[in-house]
Amino acid sequence: MNILILCTGNSCRSQIAEGYLRHFAGDKAVIYSAGIETHGVNPRAVETMKEDGIDISGHTSNHIDEYKVVDFDFLITVCDHAKEACPYFPTKAVKFHSNFPDPAKANGTKKEIMQQFREVRDMIKAYSKDFAEKFIS
């Protein structure tokens, strides 16, 4: 089973979802993430995932075009912009969408910004756990 998580820049939300879906799916699915642009993996996303015991420091920021040859079973968009702006992507994948806030746009002190990253991380964790329980067997 192949699953693609898509967001705008493949730096925060899709990276977090990839980390959690890999964790919850184990060896039952191959998880990919990509963006309609590539912004690099956000260090705060890496840090907040590490706090929860998930290491995404080795992830790379990938463009959706890199995966045109992969036959996906599921395509999950994690932001409205990616859902609306995604170029035509030929796939028979079942599509899911959830719009998570972008923690990279958080303002305030480092402590306040990290709190916003944690809140988004926890939302994505709950979504990923629920998705894995329902669709990955």
Q: Tokens at residue 66, please? A: 């890199």
Catalytic residue among 7, 49, 56, 78: 7
Question: Is 12 one of the annotated active-site residues of the chain?
Answer: no
Q: Which long-range contacts (CB under 8 A, 24 or more apart) does 79-87 make?
A: 79/7, 79/8, 79/13, 81/7, 81/8, 81/36, 82/6, 82/7, 82/8, 82/35, 82/36, 85/8, 85/36, 86/6, 86/36, 87/36
List 12, 86, 114, 124, catalytic entry: 86
Instruction: Clarify whether 86 is annotated catalytic.
Output: yes
Q: Is 128 helix (H, G, I), strand (E, B) or coil?
A: helix
- Is residue 7 among the annotated active site residues? yes
**Amino acid type, 58:** G
Q: Which residues contact 127 (CB under 8 A, 6 or more apart)?
A: 17, 98, 100
Find the catalytic residue in 36, 54, 56, 79. 79
Query: Catalytic residue positions?
Result: 7, 79, 86
